[in-house]
Structure 1
Amino acid sequence: MTLTATPTTSASLALRRADFETLWEGLDYAARGDAGFNFFTARGELKQVLSFRALREQARDLAQRLAALGLARGDRMVMIADTTPEFCITFMATQYAGLVPVPVAIPTSLGGRAAYVQQLRHQIDGCGAKLAWAPGDLLPFLREAAEGLALKLVGGSADLAALPTGGGDLKPFAKDEPSYLQYSSGSTRFPKGIDIPQSVLLANAFGIGNHGLQVRAGDRCASWLPFYHDMGLVGFMLTPILNQLSVDYLATRDFARRSLTWLNLISEYGGTLAYSPSFGYDLCVRRLRDGTEFKGDLSSWRAAGIGGDMVQPAVLKRFVDAFGPFGFRETAFCPSYGMAETTLAMSFAPLEEVYTLDTVSRAALERDRAEPAEAGPDSRGFIACGPALPGHELQVRDAAGKPLPERRIGRIFFRGPSVMKGYFNQPELTRETLSPEGWLDTGDLGYLLNGQIVITGRAKDLIILNGRNIWPQDLEWAAEDGIDELRRGDVAAISVENPDEEDAERIVVLVQCRSSDPDARARLEREVAAVLQKAMAVEASVVLVPPHGLPQTSSGKLSRAKAKANFLGGAYARAEAASA
């Protein structure tokens, strides 16, 4: 039988923009229409279709089977979140059964089984899970991680389907009850489970649908973002349910191999809403420049969201230059700001306008000021990410906690109905991050510009050298842009104690190197050092690391903290010795 993707619009169903009290009520409504989820292969072939009607029916059936286990209301269910219909069904079953789903990452590297199993075990134990679920091919990882823990069931979809139907009444969550726990992307040994109640989820989805993206009839989504990350889970699974939007999915691992399939899906199915961090757009450009054929039409794409990491102006320009001939409009870019602790979104740049590029003095940045400057070697550009969602507030504060005026750089705080309840079973960490007045310390640095928030970096990653503020992204991008053989994500800049000077720091730049030739490696070290000296006027120790040697968070972002730990622990020195 030939599969047909779900339609973009449901003629018999009026559009409702997340004006529900709970997630399951949103699915009940969406199931009355024709929209749903479509899952594609790496080559763009439709392999599975899950209408919202089928999702509701199968989720409710599974919820009754879960009821047979005699679980308490609010018990947690850890779920390895691969891009499959089974994940969507199981997630929604928890909503009808009164259980809390805890989506966690799939393995991200072939050589890291032991580390992945250990992390998974910490997550299962950390949230006190009673159930654990995985897709069939990942069940061995799950069973190993859960060994010896007191769980009522560890299994896959076949194990859940084998449960008897309880026949009891379903007990779905109310608006003041939980919806899910989201592990922050950096969680490893001490996982932080972000507690998102139904009312908080709905507040954020309402803001996205009514204000951030202004969802309209005819909208359709395309996504490769993983379900274990807030942008993939909330942005492209839960919010589409709550706004009755069809979604075309490409698995994250397939996007990494065939990035242009994502754009082909937008072209073929008339996608209007699609998001990616900067590196995703850059990867598409690289594939096109490497000769991968693309003949699509991107003129339907009205909101090309970009967020999840620092928005890089050069990436946006390269994408427009590469895909403008295929109908992509610069005004489609929608820089955004958000994090899992705020469900997903905090701010969106104005739609259908060219994004705001603010060019500021590098010298002023070192004094925590964003003073306008002419474009050139003594300046750098930042992208404005829009004002706070209506009903929410953004503040930039100094070290004493005092709000700063515009163009003064400080720590970013956020308040509003989209903010998490707290970190699950971690009251001290919650108090450190969330004030009694509801202000969330984001841990990010930035400044306000005409009411829009501009992100300059993570507070913990900022390098301070001889009283000078240096953003690691500036060093990384300078090397990657200045040396042809380096790709986006090949460089990590960190600061470490200088053994020759007490209380002094030095800059170490870790560079992934794919060559084993001693002369080529030595040349790369010299070139990186020279580029950083010329572009940033800094002396840096350049350390070559193996391919894939720079750690990433589960959302695909560079983890400088883990890279620094690897460096200080001697991991890169051992790798260098092994390759010698």
Structure 2
Amino acid sequence: MPQPTPTDNSLPLKTSGYRSLAEALDYASRGATGCNFYDGRGKLQCALTYTELRHKAQDLAARLHGMGLERGSRIALVADTHPDFPVFFFACQYAGLVPVPLPAAVHLGGREAFVAHLRAMLEDCQARAAFAPENFAGFLEEASVGRGLALSGTLDAFMRLEPAASLPPPPRPDELAYLQYTSGSTRFPRGTMITQEAVLDNLAGILQFGVQIRRGDRFMSWLPYYHDMGLVGLILGPVISQLSVDYLGTREFAMRPRLWLNLMSRNRSTISFSPPFGYALCARRLRPSDLEKFDLSAWRVAGVGAEMIRAAWLQGFADALQPAGFDRSAFLPCYGMAECSLAVSFAPLGQGLETDRLDAERLAGERIAEPANPAAADRRVTEFVNCGRPLPGFEVEIRKGDGQLAAERECGVIHLRGKSVMSGYANNADATAAALDSKGWLNTGDVGYRAGDALFITGRAKDLLIINGRNIWPQDLEYVAEQQPEVRAEDASAFAIPGEDGSEVAVLVVQCREQDSFRQAALVERLKQRIQSEFGIACLIELVPLHTLPRTSSGKLSRSGARLDFLKRNDLQDRPILPRELVQRTPHTEAAEPSGN
């Protein structure tokens, strides 16, 4: 029976000074730490020390090099939580090839949709070979037909290749380390080109200034390997810092989220990250009897990012787990994106959640983040979480619609420049030109403001609703729905569609667990009244079955996908909605029968 790799390591801690990811693994392999893989019942299936990882990666690298592929060729990797993935990823580093992690998630579209998604990605990245673990090999085989790949299959297929006599020269700092696909909710996902020096610079900032790594730390992760937080933060981060890490599969976490806490307790893990919905899901599944099983007192960094941070979800998690030793000051809000390797900013370590409560009317009408007046009870309030100070080396500008710099507490689009920023989008010159200007500034597409040296994110520019000349954030409408007893977190998606007179019409699609038609109608009317009262706008409400709202490959709700599905369901793809249809289509109770759990 395997034993987990140790937390303590005799190797001197080192987080920077590497010329490549391969060199970082060379150093980590001199110690005793490594990565550990647990199944859906919390049983350790594999313990892979960094010494073993390096040996296996170099062995595979010799076989990849023996294929005679041009240096820098793309190797697609279906990125399931499996020991073969890091072996393949680092083998590419040693072989002078570029790994391309692909999603390992068969969504509700089923096999056909997933295969089509893989096929499109293989074409987009111009892959020369492709790997998948056994449980995804059939999907990859089908997606690879006609692609002209030199080889496609499991690790065993590649290990049957003849190895080259020697390995090629190690990667240069300016060579690509990998392609990272964005989750992409409005267009087909785009592959960000990340160089060795870009990701190493970002990791040094994360480890030294973000989580402030120390001896005795231990990572824990259930995040997907194909997501930037999972790949960079929780695969590369442990290697760069020579720390042990424990992995639970994303699907296993979704089915048994309490396993996350169980493994954190058992292994005395100190660092783990999650999007807000992960904390909310975990808190929702807790039972009172669980608390005596957990000891979370070692958890010093509970990172939170990857989507808009909702303080209420995290406070609920902290309240529920406080008896098990969870310290709410461990919350570490952060902001980042694949286009910047991973992280841009971190809140101060140990501060926990700090929120900025704003006058929602001033924000909507003038885009000014004015602190709310506690005495003005008649004014609507909205709040945002402090995402902290940018990492050293980042330049940050908040720009208004006319391109001018925004003043402090004035909202605008966030632009970034620094060594961690991508080289561009692979094989997509138009998208690269739209995102990166000639001076190296990246248009993030995110809207936010500065308050002192702190950065606050208010949403995505593309998601903003402009109704009757007012700026409405979709998460505000979604929050109203989630406060209803019939609706849970992430059961609502808000967006706008065109109206007959050229204006925008707000739409709120809600996954409904209630089956009684009278109660459905009451929920719709309650939502319409609340939104009219709080925001002064009319809103079309549609109730749909559970599991209807689409998600991106990283698990986030896709508002653009929900909008497209709504238009298709209601036959509105090619025309605006008419005023009479606002009444006729509300509520959409015929779609409200739950389809299951």
Query: What TM-score, normalized by structure 2, do the two folds share?
Result: 0.93
Distance in structure 2 (CA, Å) of the matches to 1:147 and 1:133: 14
User: What is the aligned counterpart of 1:419 among 410, 421, 436?
Assistant: 421
Maintained 8 Å contact 2:185/2:558: no
Cα offset for 1:528?
2.7
Give the aligned partner of residue 492 of structure 1: 493
Cα offset for 1:144?
1.2
Aligned: 1:388 with 2:387: no
What letter is aligned with 2:491? D
Alignment size in residue pairs: 575
Cα offset for 1:169?
2.9
Gaps of 5+ in 2: 573-584
Per-residue Cα deviation, 1:119-172 (whole angstroms, up to 9, x for no partner): 111110011110011111111111111111111011111111211222233333
Distance in structure 2 (CA, Å) of the matches to 1:169 and 1:443: 41
Give the aligned partner of residue 8 of structure 1: 7
Residues 256-271 of structure 1 aligned to structure 2 (within 5 Å): 256-271=254-269
Give the aligned partner of residue 562 of structure 2: 563
What letter is aligned with 1:390? P
User: What is the aligned counterpart of 1:433 among 432, 435, 447?
Assistant: 435
User: What is the aligned counterpart of 1:456 among 455, 458, 464?
Assistant: 458
Distance in structure 2 (CA, Å) of the matches to 1:299 and 1:308: 25
Maintained 8 Å contact 1:6/1:51: yes
Give the aligned partner of residue 89 of structure 2: 91
Distance in structure 2 (CA, Å) of the matches to 1:113 and 1:74: 31
Maintained 8 Å contact 1:357/1:381: yes
Gaps of 5+ in 1: none
Maintained 8 Å contact 2:76/2:130: yes
What letter is aligned with 1:409? C
Cα offset for 1:97?
0.5
Per-residue Cα deviation, 1:465-486 (whole angstroms, up to 9, x for no partner): 11111000011011102x1121
Higher mean C-alpha displacement, 100-109 vs 291-300: 291-300
Residues 7-406 of structure 1 aligned to structure 2 (within 5 Å): 7-11=6-10, 13-186=11-184, 190-288=188-286, 295-366=293-364, 367-374=366-373, 378-406=380-408
Higher mean C-alpha displacement, 269-278 vs 38-47: 38-47
1:187–1:26 distance in 2 versus 1, CA, 3 Å: farther
Give the aligned partner of residue 577 of structure 2: none
Per-residue Cα deviation, 1:354-400 (whole angstroms, up to 9, x for no partner): 33211110111111001011466611111110111011111111112
1:498–1:197 distance in 2 versus 1, CA, 3 Å: same
Cα offset for 1:106?
1.2
Distance in structure 2 (CA, Å) of the matches to 1:212 and 1:443: 23
Maintained 8 Å contact 1:347/1:386: yes
What letter is aligned with 1:382? F
Cα offset for 1:549?
0.8
Maintained 8 Å contact 1:126/1:191: no
Distance in structure 1 (CA, Å) of the matches to 2:462 and 2:275: 20
Cα offset for 1:96?
0.4
Maintained 8 Å contact 1:479/1:531: no
Cα offset for 1:521?
3.0
Maintained 8 Å contact 1:119/1:188: no
1:114–1:302 distance in 2 versus 1, CA, 3 Å: same
SS in 1 for 2:389: coil
Work out the percentage of aligned pairs sharing the same amino acid: 46
Maintained 8 Å contact 1:414/1:440: yes
1:294–1:428 distance in 2 versus 1, CA, 3 Å: farther
What letter is aligned with 2:386? A
Cα offset for 1:515?
4.5
Aligned: 1:533 with 2:532: yes
Cα offset for 1:18?
3.0
Distance in structure 2 (CA, Å) of the matches to 1:535 and 1:43: 45
1:506–1:290 distance in 2 versus 1, CA, 3 Å: farther
Aligned: 1:514 with 2:516: no
Cα offset for 1:531?
3.4
Distance in structure 2 (CA, Å) of the matches to 1:383 and 1:59: 41
What letter is aligned with 1:287? R
Per-residue Cα deviation, 1:422-464 (whole angstroms, up to 9, x for no partner): 0012122111101111111000001001111100000000001
Give the CA RMSD over aligned residues: 1.9
Distance in structure 1 (CA, Å) of the matches to 2:108 and 2:45: 25
Maintained 8 Å contact 2:198/2:419: yes
1:329–1:26 distance in 2 versus 1, CA, 3 Å: same
SS in 2 for 1:550: coil
SS in 1 for 2:286: helix
Higher mean C-alpha displacement, 104-113 vs 21-30: 104-113
SS in 1 for 2:557: coil
Per-residue Cα deviation, 1:397-427 (whole angstroms, up to 9, x for no partner): 1112111121101111111111001001212
